[in-house]
Chain A
Amino acid sequence: MEKITSPYKWGMVIDLDRCTGCGACVVACQAENNVAICEKKEIAEGRNMHWLRIERFWVGEYPDIRVRFLPVLCQHCHDAPCEPVCPVYASYHNPDGLNGQVYNRCVGTRYCGNNCPYAVRVFNFHDHEHAWPSPLENQLSPDITVRSRGVMEKCSFCIQRIRRVKEDAKAEGRMIKDGEVQPACVQTCPTEAMVFGNIADPRSRVSRLSRSPRRFRLLENLGTHPSIYYLKGGGREHV
């Protein structure tokens, strides 16, 4: 049983000093990945379907209030707590370093959702078959399924985009160029706060940024080894 290896290890860097909290990434993700449009009631019940959320924290007292934004998405941990607990292998680790979710294998035990310390996994509590009032269903991407009820979903680093670029690169007999594949959120970010690429390549932009002295990762003490590095303010203020 040889281990399947890959020259790619996808990673992301999010520069919190550039993030304005505009939320364009959230909308882009929703548009790209057929994420269900939720009603107000669902969101109030804690059942929103956003794959990417902007956490907003107020710091300080009036009139000295500041606000911090933290975009949280699936961290694609190298030692993901969500993967070993799925009884049917719906959550698994991809040789590219991605945490994969197989929608049609998911039975809906929600163990992975419980075990994710970042709480980035969302579950289809509601039946979202009709979440796109006509004619919005024309906007759905054909590269990715529309998930049924009872299935867990989460950010996949836009694996459909990665796949398409991989196929193009393979057809041309070359490696993927740095910056060629961009998930929807990275593509949309107006301040280029989000950078995506191959961390295994030491010369890629994301690799260089991930070596910045401003870097930190979320909940590092849990030993999940996330693939996302956050950059923040010279070490004085972490979120």
Chain B
Amino acid sequence: MSEPEHALAAKSAVQLNDEMLSSMRTPTWRWYGLAFFLGAVVAWGISAFTYQMMTDLSVTGLDRPVMWGIYIANFVFWVGLSHSGTMVSAILRLSQANWRRPILRAAEAMTVFSITVAGLFPVIHLGRNWVVYYFMPYPNQRGLWPNFRSPLLWDATAITTYIIGSSLFLYLGMLPDLAVVRDRASGWRKKIYAILAMGWRGTAREWVVFRKASTLMAALIIPVAVSVHSIVAWDFSVTVVPGWHSTIFPPYFVIGAITSGVAAVITLMIIIRRVFHLEEYLTPLHFDNMGKLLLVICLLWAYAYFVEVQTTWYAHEPIEWEVWSFMAGKYTPFLILMLISNAVLPIFALCFKKIRRSVKAMLVITVLINIAMFIERYLIIVPSLSHKNMPFIWGSYSPSWVELSVTAAAFCGFTLMYVLFAKFFPMVAVTDVRELGVRHSDIRLGRTEVHTISEEE
């Protein structure tokens, strides 16, 4: 066991509770200021969207042939980001890595909020948003049903499943922690937490069922996560659009999502650590391990991208090569930024333990990765549509202020949901971390004392 876990084991339960739940203390004026600012940007975005809905879609930058633009880039990006929590949490749970414990809650919360934001975009980009209920399969007097052959309906099904699944996953993980919070709260707060905690008492039997349920949910949510982003990838790859019609899209998108998600979890960890003074819980060891995970996934992404370009270049099908070289020509600075931030920089830098353990370096690397992932989504969608099969109709696209406002509102809305969540719910998996203390012991082996964490075989 490493130094930080040993230090934690020396603290009392009360102290651990206090420190890990520090995000839930009475809000300061700084918190109100932040929430107000974020709320203002969200309100601005909502008003921009309302303007779009009351006028028409000409306020966006969309035209023929680029009928999907930054709204869909946002959609794919946020779905990708939602892979953060489930993948990190589920994989680490199933592999029983101990260093997952302080990270889980933040990651799972991130999943729920990013998939919520993602689910808004298919409604935002519609030409007639007010009849979006045509998508819903409900028996009606005209006998109409939606078309399940359309990838958009697969999207709707998958995202519904994922929102419900990841919310349940988050709630399940929080159940024992909500009981701790309930016991420490008073007044109206206590009543609400008591309802949420469903009467959890922490009996031995409850823990047995809880552990089995957590493992089962983790095992179930991973295939859902993989399928959700594959389905989003199929929105593109089942078309005849050159540059989209590629079988590598589903695995490529899933890998990209995991990259984006792991990087975002690391960014979030850094922010939470700083804001809530959790330096003793989110230690350089955790960043080291997450950095290794990130390195592996960035290698996979670089490989997937290399394969995609290499097959396009080698076969040199005229229209496919045209799309690629058009993209590389028109968007060169973005392409270079993307390749450096997503592949060259992380792969080089994350090989070094010193960099992985340095919080500042990890912040820079992970923020750059997410910027690069957003650019990557944009570069998949827009250039392919700009140069389709009939050259007479080649066009271009640039986002308008409405679309950029909604994008900004999406980012701020996500952050705002996160800020509110951290204020009202335990941001660190309290009971999970305390379990380490339970299992910790110093065993005398030979000439020295070994710090151990016991695990059943």
Contacts and interface: CB of A to CB of B under 8 A. Distances in A.
Interface of A: 42, 45-48, 53, 55-57, 70, 72, 81, 84-89, 105-111, 113-115, 117-119, 121-127, 148-152, 218-219, 222, 224
Given A46-B395, A110-B67, A123-B127, A89 B144 contact: yes
**Most chain A beta carbons < 10 A, residue from B58, B156, B385, B395:** B58
A127 B55 CA distance: 8
Nearest to B131: A107
A107 B390 contact: no
A104 to B, nearest CB: 9
Contacts of B65: 46, 113-114, 119
A150 B127 contact: yes
Contacts of A114: 65, 67-68, 239, 241, 385
Contacts of B241: 114-115, 117
A75 to B, nearest CB: 11
Contacts of B349: none
Q: Give the interface SS of chain A, mostly helix, strand, loop or mixed.
A: loop
B134 interface: yes
A109 B152 contact: yes
Nearest to A45: B63
B426 to A, nearest CB: 39
Interface in B132-158: 132, 134-135, 144-147, 149-153, 156
Interface in B299-333: none
Contacts of B56: 124-127, 149-150
A81 B238 CA distance: 9
A149 B57 contact: yes
Contacts of A42: 58
B255 to A, nearest CB: 24
B327 to A, nearest CB: 16
Contacts of B134: 87-88, 105, 107
Nearest to B65: A119
A152 B56 CA distance: 13
A119 B388 contact: yes
Given A46-B64, A108-B126, A115 B240 contact: yes
A48 B58 CA distance: 12
A121 B238 CA distance: 19
Nearest to B57: A125
A190 to B, nearest CB: 23
Given A115-B239, A117-B390, A127-B56, A106 B128 contact: yes
Contacts of B238: 85
B32 to A, nearest CB: 39
12 contacts: A46-B395, A85-B238, A86-B150, A87-B147, A87-B150, A87-B152, A87-B153, A88-B147, A109-B127, A114-B241, A117-B389, A127-B55
A129 to B, nearest CB: 10
B392 interface: yes
A84 B145 CA distance: 14
A175 to B, nearest CB: 31
Given A56-B392, A84-B149, A87-B153, 6 more contacts: A87-B152, A89-B145, A111-B151, A119-B64, A122-B64, A151-B127
B408 interface: no
B331 to A, nearest CB: 18
B393 interface: yes
A52 B195 CA distance: 63
A110 B127 contact: yes
Contact of B240 (A48, A56, A152, A222): A222
A70 B153 CA distance: 36
Contacts of A87: 134-135, 146-147, 150, 152-153, 156
Contact of A117 (B145, B388, B392): B388
Contacts of A85: 149-152, 238-239
